[in-house]
Each structure stands twice: as C-alpha cells, then as structure tokens.
Amino acid sequence: MTSYNSEHDLRVLKAMVAHLTPYLYEDELFGQVDNRLPKLTLGGLLMRLYRLEQFAEHLSPAQRQDIQEARKHLEATQYEWLNHYKDKIQQELPSRINAINWYLDDCRQNPVGCDSGWPNEAEKRTIIAHLRDEAERLDILSRETKGMISDLDGRIRHFHKPGAFIWSDDLKPVYPRERFWWLYGRPGELEEE
C-alpha cells in the first residue's frame, strides 16, 4: 500500500480554498479547479482539511502554516457567503448518498466490480461524514438527511466485510475504526435487504 501523500492533499486543499468564493455562488456542485486535481466540493475540501489537521504533527512548519491559512480562508469565506455555503452542503449530502446507493444497486445486479470500486465509494462515505459534521455544526442537518445516512449505512453493512484499513496505514490514526468503520474492510457477500 502506498504512503499518504500529504503534499498532494495540501496542494489540492490550497487550490480548492483559492477557488472557494466563486464556487459558492455558482450553481455547479462539482467546481473546476485544475484539470489535474479533483473537482472542488465542500465535502472534498473538508475531508482534506480534516486529514491534514489531524496529520499536522508529521508536517513541516511551512505546511502547518499553509493549513492554518487555508482554515482561516475557509472560515472567512464561509462567514461572508454563509447561505451559499449552507446550500452547497445541503446539495452535496444527498448527491453523495445517492451516488453510493447507485453503486450498491449496481453491486446487487453485478457483484464482480464491487471490490475494485469500493475505495472510491468509501471516500464518498468519508466525505458524507465530514459534511454531516459540518451540517450539525451549522444546525442544518435535517431529519430526512439523517435518515438517508442511516439507511445508507444499513445498506453498506449488508455487504461490508470488516477487515484491514483500505487507505494508507499513515492515515489509520486519523480515521479510527469506531467512527470510520467503512474504511476497515471490503465488499463481501451481498445479503438480502
């Protein structure tokens, strides 16, 4: 397994933060940053910021400073564009949930590709966790969305076979099993729902 590339995560975070203001007032959920980088979403930004902040003791002082500046920029932009920020969170949460549900539907019909596709879906589920935390912090997490997440987790548990951490071992302390259980294992036999 490859080691965690904090430099890449930091480069992506800085690019996302730099494009945050126009992204918030545009309609698109997936913003363009750079063709070589992941699309900008609040969930992707929050996941990377969390990861880097949790991993900070392993980073250089300059990298830690960049992370602090990214956090400050995020908070200032969020304050200035709060309603747009909330709207994006409320748009992204169901989009991510639906995407994983479609994956699970596909797995039910054709289980062959489930294992290879799981790391991408596990990242989406991790993004959902960070979006949920942010929505709760902003007091905008609806009962309906909580129910959607709970239903999704029930579906994932039907086919998730607990096992080894699927990302770089460097990130295990950042993503403990108790909270991020879907990162510890792979698809197993699909059970009837």
Could you tell me the two tokens for 118? 């799981």
Residue boundaries of the structural domains of the chain: 6-187
Provide the residue-wise pLDDT of the chain in tens; the chain has 193 residues: 568 999 999 999 999 999 999 999 999 999 999 889 999 999 999 999 999 999 999 999 999 999 999 999 999 999 999 999 999 999 999 999 999 999 999 998 888 888 889 999 999 999 999 999 999 999 999 999 999 999 999 999 998 999 999 999 999 999 999 999 999 999 875 444 4
Quick one: pLDDT at residue 174? 96
Q: Is 167 left (phi over 0), alpha (psi -120 to 50) or beta?
A: beta
C-beta separation of 158 from 100 below 8 A: no
Q: Can you spell out the DSSP letters for 47-93? A: HHHHHHHHTGGGS-HHHHHHHHHHHHHHHHHHHHTHHHHHHHHHHHH
Question: CA 10, CA 45: separation in Å to the nearest integer?
Answer: 10
For residue 173, the one-letter residue type is: P
